[in-house]
Structure 1
Amino acid sequence: MSKKHQGRTDGLVYSTNQDFYNDYEEENTAAETLPKEKQKLRVKLDTKQRAGKVVTLVDGFVGTAEDLDALGKQLKTKCGTGGSVKDGFIIIQGDYRAKILGWLKEWGYSQTK
């Protein structure tokens, strides 16, 4: 898809209906970030579609994309390794389950599994 058409994918170009309600903007609004005590994060290993390489996935974060990126950056820095934040997952390269669980508990996140 060209850069020109990356924004909207719903196909609507123009509507003459005065009662038309565009719900596209509401779909992109982010939820408020839950407090650390109420976050239910799951930490697991994954090797699917990664050429046999192990990554640690952190899943279940409820909040804004900026807060998720900040948590991902903290975890990557503490582990001293690469990773990314995609589709609501924090992906850390390597097996760091025990360390990440310890840090999350230390930072005040609730019971994680």
Structure 2
Amino acid sequence: MSNDLNSIAGLPDDLGIGDDLARAEQRLSIGVDRRRYGKPVTVVEGFEPGAVDLEELASTLKRRLAVGGTVTEGRIELQGAHDDRLRAALEAEGFSVDA
């Protein structure tokens, strides 16, 4: 076991608790925008820079919801309107989502 302590949790980094706490402390917001030809795009914002690997999280969400999407300017954009399903998926990943 390593002697490196996490700055957030004060516990060894090997436990991974700092990552869980960093996720729980973020307050995310979900919104639906309309793009070209009126197509809906669900946008997740409010990520702290560097606290989460957005590419990895976006990949997980795209697989779970079976949709396409991208990471742009510190936010995740998913094709279609997925408010409720996305909220549940983010909470399952340990994030807090504003109403």
The two structures have a TM-score, normalised by structure 1, of 0.63
Give the Cα separation in 1 of the matches to 2:97 and 2:66. 24
Cα deviation for residue 66 of structure 1 reads 6.9
Question: Post-superposition, which runs of at least 4 consecutive aligned residues in structure 1 deviate over 6 A?
Answer: none
Q: Which residue of 1 aligns with 2:7?
A: none
Q: Which residue of 1 aligns with 2:25?
A: 38
Change (3 A) 1:95 1:64: same
Kindly provide the amino acid, as one letter, of the partner of residue 37 in structure 1: A
Structure 1: gaps of 5 or more residues = 1-32
Give the Cα separation in 2 of the matches to 1:73 and 1:52. 25
Kindly provide the amino acid, as one letter, of the partner of residue 44 in structure 2: V
Q: Which residue of 2 aligns with 1:103?
A: 89
Change (3 A) 1:104 1:66: closer
Structure 2: gaps of 5 or more residues = 1-18
**8 Å contact kept, 1:101–1:112:** no
- Is the strand fraction higher in 1 or 2? 2
Kindly provide the amino acid, as one letter, of the partner of residue 90 in structure 1: I
CA RMSD, aligned part only? 2.1
Q: Which residue of 2 aligns with 1:78?
A: 64
- After TM superposition, list the pairs within 5 Å mapping 1:26-65 onto structure 2: 35-47=22-34, 49-64=35-50
Decide which structure has the larger Cα Rg and report it.
Answer: 1
Q: Secondary structure at 2:44's aligned position in 1?
A: strand
Q: Secondary structure at 2:94's aligned position in 1?
A: coil
The two structures have a TM-score, normalised by structure 2, of 0.71
The C-alpha deviation readout for 1:2-59, integer Å capped at 9, x for no partner, is xxxxxxxxxxxxxxxxxxxxxxxxxxxxxxx871111111011000x43210010000
